Each structure stands twice: as structure tokens, then as C-alpha cells.
Amino acid sequence: MTVANEYATVRIEIDRQGNGDRLRITDLRTGRSTSLDALELQALALATHRDLVPLLDPARTLWREAD
């Protein structure tokens, strides 16, 4: 599934290859991806938009070197 708006386009899929299912999110502009397990997804579901503000700063995430 692809989700897009004027700022980003990501692909979302279920990753069944690891130890338990994870949600894989891939940024289609950079090709970077991450996989989130159920506990991480629950934390996102419980987070407020204010909690996510630091993650939305492109200087912090978009232009950094890949780990």
C-alpha cells in the first residue's frame, strides 16, 4: 500500500521474515525503511501529535547519513 501527501510518499507492507510480523515503512524518495513491531506500533498509537514533533524536523532525519 502507498500513502502520499504533498510532503512525502511511503510504502507500507507487512514484513513476515523476522521473528514475528512487523510493519515495514519505506520512504520512496530516499529508499530508507524501518520495521516496527507491535510494541512500537502501540507506542505510536498512544502518542500525541506533540510527541511526534521532534521526528518531523527534516534536519534531524531527512538529511542525515544512513546508520
Indicate if the pLDDT at residue 8 is higher than 60.
yes
Q: What's residue 63's pLDDT? A: 61
Q: What is the mean pLDDT of residues 40-67?
A: 82
pLDDT at 16: 93
Question: Are 36 and 42 in contact, with CB atoms under 8 Å apart?
Answer: no
Confidence of residue 39 (pLDDT cuts 50, 70, 90): very high
DSSP, residue by residue, 20-65: S-EEEEEETTT--EEEE-HHHHHHHHH--HHHHGGGG-HHHHTTSP
pTM of the model: 0.79
Give domain limits for the chain: 2-61
Confidence check: pLDDT of 60 > 80: no
Q: Tell me 28's DSSP state.
A: T
